Structure 1
Amino acid sequence: MKCRFAALGALLFLNFASSAFALDKTAEDLMNAGHYKRARAIAQQRLQKNANDADALYILARVSLAQDRLDQAQSYSERAIEIAPNMSEAHRVLGESLGLKAIKLNLVTGLAIARRGKKEGELALQLDPRSIDAAEFLASYYNAAPAVAGGGHDKAEHMVETIMQLNPGRSYLARATGAEEKKDVAGEEQWLLKAAQVDPKNYEVQDRLAHLYIGSDRHDLGRAAKYARAALALDAGRSGSYAVLAAIYAEQNRWADLDAMLSLAERADGDDLVPYFEAGKALVATGKDNARAERYLKKYLAQEAEGGQPHQGHAHWQLGLLMLREGKKEVALAELQTSVSLLPDFRPAADDLKRARAS
């Protein structure tokens, strides 16, 4: 619950602060739709006018979090909180960035940071009890963290029930995320289908189903295409479902359809070239057109990755695998080494680099 102030002056200050640091709805909508680069440009313009713009700092924190730049996300969110201590969203982003950092550290250091991340998430929900984002973060944290770090499935279930009271569709999405984290593909599918029944006009639900069915565990190209098209019917300006269709066409050798889809996707959202990445990745897996795969992956590397999309290290990894297939060992080693340098915690690239060196 939000703190109560006995003094009228304190209450007036709180009202002033909440209006002065009201979220930029345009930037918030852009980030919710996956357009982090566009939101960042808004924040940078605002900071040029006012270096102490808490909302702009929060936007940059959230963009950094989406791009897995955890130190930046922590720094921006801490600065936002210094200016606007009651900004729930900034506390939530700080909690998420700390939680993700903790995973990459040793037990002792990571435990302290994880506990702080949990505390920030709980404060975010206390400041705004209707924040579904904060409740979703806490549900994920409680599911993943050991008891010594404040985790627990009972706590996670309570958070999901809290979300259910606010938005049933989002509660099913939260359950799907929990199942995904446990590698429970059947459970993830079950909850996503429930979410689609409750909220058929939710882009994220349709897009996640499309990606579920393009994956190796539930590989069903017909269903993947069905849900990808349903997502695009809801929002043709987002790249994720174009990427699913591009991967399908690449796997099926539908070159004319693939070229047309990639062109359409780039016109719809030139800031996010993930359709090229997914098409290239599919071609690396099938080995059907190495030159095309190389061209697509290099296209993806030609600009900064959009928030929430595959890190450039993943593209270097795929290029390394492709170069190994073509017998270009030195080039392959360089690509795999770049991937490992960019993603030191990504085990597949490290394993492939080790095998390539030994071959």
Structure 2
Amino acid sequence: MIVAGVFLVASLAAAVPGPTLSEARQAFEAGDPRAGSMVEAILRRQPEQVDAAVLQVRWMMAAGNTAAALERAEKLVEQFPRHASVHLVLADAYAAEINHMGRFQQMRTAARIRSALERALDLDPRLVGARESLLMYYLQAPWIAGGSIDAAAEQAEEIRRLDPVRGRAADARVLDAREQPAESLAAWKEACERSGGIGGLCLEYGLVLQKQARWSQAWALFEAWLLKRPDDAAAWYQIGRISALSGGDPARGIEALSRFLALPKRFDTPRAEHAWLRLAEIHQTRGDRSAAVDALQRALAIDPDYQEAREALARLR
């Protein structure tokens, strides 16, 4: 009876369906920390599931394991050489690691990034993500490595044809590179509005507003975001950040960062120690040195090597 019971439990466990690729992708896009284990479960059942393998590399990069992600991506290209998404994720993995390399190695890696992106587009010219990454390559690479605003503009035109909303974000990046801030800001605003007023494009728009010190517009953007998603940690953090950088409405800034610290975190939201640093800056604005010191000590309790917090604490002392 005991043996039969063991076999029955094993059979029932085998019959329980695991997460689907669609569910894992939704979890990843929602910033759910469970996305990694969901992808691993899929790959245990289907080791040859290339889309799951690509998602695993993206999860590894998002979790900060960039070296392991690059190693995995290089193996995937050998395993699935005719899948465009594999070449795209290899390029993105190279880009995630490039800042950890010496100058000579960076030049070699830049060439590999471009080659991988061009190969991805050879295999699938409609792959918008590859065109976006190639656009960023052209904007960031020196001219000797193929950097070119005009080449980036050509990619923006193709992106706009394939996906008008992401195309406007691409236009914004090119306009910014051409030092046309007003036109770039208008393009970001349109991209954000057409994407629903929340999400990644709106976050980028909000950061551009902050970069240009358009504090009231940035504040209004994230307050409107919270009307749609009251428990969105990213929006709460941005309101706190705006308060810290601008010196405006410190009470709301403290409330925002406190809400951020109390909410469940996405893997791609700022870390808690960053919020404590911003809280310290707001307390300093209010003249509350004791509260600022306490906030910085909390930041350093999370990450003792957090250099910005260490320097701020030294100045206060």
- Please indicate, yes or no, whether the TM-score normalized by the shorter chain is above 0.5: yes
State the distance in 1 between where 2:231 and 2:26 align. Answer: 13
- Residue 324 (1) aligns with residue 283 (2): no
State the distance in 2 between where 1:295 and 1:126 align. Answer: 55
- Residue 269 (1) aligns with residue 264 (2): yes
- Residue 116 (1) aligns with residue 112 (2): yes
Match of 2:131 in 1: 135
Cα distance change on mapping 1:207 and 1:155 into 2, 3 Å: same
State the distance in 2 between where 1:95 and 1:267 align. Answer: 36
State the distance in 2 between where 1:326 and 1:195 align. Answer: 42
In structure 2, stretches of 5+ residues that fail to align are 1-19
State the distance in 1 between where 2:266 and 2:275 align. Answer: 17
Match of 2:9 in 1: none
Instruction: Kindly indicate whether the alpha-carbon contact (under 8 Å) linking 2:276 and 2:299 is maintained by their aligned counterparts in 1.
Output: no
- Residue 105 (1) aligns with residue 101 (2): yes
Match of 2:13 in 1: none
- Which of these residues, 23, 28, 31, is aligned with residue 26 of structure 1? 23
- Residue 232 (1) aligns with residue 226 (2): yes
Equivalent residue letter for 2:42: R
State the distance in 1 between where 2:300 and 2:21 align. Answer: 31
Equivalent residue letter for 2:24: A
Matches within 5 A, 1:68-87: 68-87=64-83
Query: Higher mean Cα deviation, 233-242 or 107-116?
Result: 233-242
Equivalent residue letter for 2:220: K
Match of 1:351 in 2: none
Matches within 5 A, 1:142-221: 142-178=138-174, 185-186=181-182, 188-201=184-197, 203-215=199-211, 217-220=212-215
Aligned partner of residue 37 in structure 1, secondary structure: coil
**Identity over aligned residues, as a percent?**
21
Matches within 5 A, 1:7-46: 24-33=21-30, 35=31, 37-46=33-42
Instruction: Kindly indicate whether the alpha-carbon contact (under 8 Å) linking 1:238 and 1:269 is maintained by their aligned counterparts in 2.
Output: no
The superposition leaves residues 181-223 of structure 1 with CA deviations (integer Å, 9 ceiling, x where unpaired) of 78875454232123235444452333223333344x3241x22
Query: Higher mean Cα deviation, 98-107 or 223-232?
Result: 98-107
The superposition leaves residues 229-279 of structure 1 with CA deviations (integer Å, 9 ceiling, x where unpaired) of 233345455432111122345544644x45654454456533456374554
TM-score by length of 2: 0.75
Aligned partner of residue 89 in structure 1, secondary structure: helix
State the distance in 1 between where 2:258 and 2:43 align. Answer: 35
Instruction: Kindly indicate whether the alpha-carbon contact (under 8 Å) linking 1:55 and 1:80 is maintained by their aligned counterparts in 2.
Output: no
Deviation at 1:294, TM superposition (A): 5.5
Query: Higher mean Cα deviation, 177-186 or 45-54?
Result: 177-186
State the distance in 2 between where 1:248 and 1:32 align. Answer: 25
Aligned partner of residue 306 in structure 2, secondary structure: helix
State the distance in 2 between where 1:133 and 1:79 align. Answer: 21
State the distance in 2 between where 1:240 and 1:180 align. Answer: 24
Cα distance change on mapping 1:259 and 1:197 into 2, 3 Å: closer
State the distance in 1 between where 2:39 and 2:68 align. Answer: 14
State the distance in 2 between where 1:266 and 1:280 align. Answer: 9
Match of 2:235 in 1: 241
Match of 1:223 in 2: 217
State the distance in 2 between where 1:38 and 1:158 align. Answer: 38
Deviation at 1:126, TM superposition (A): 2.6
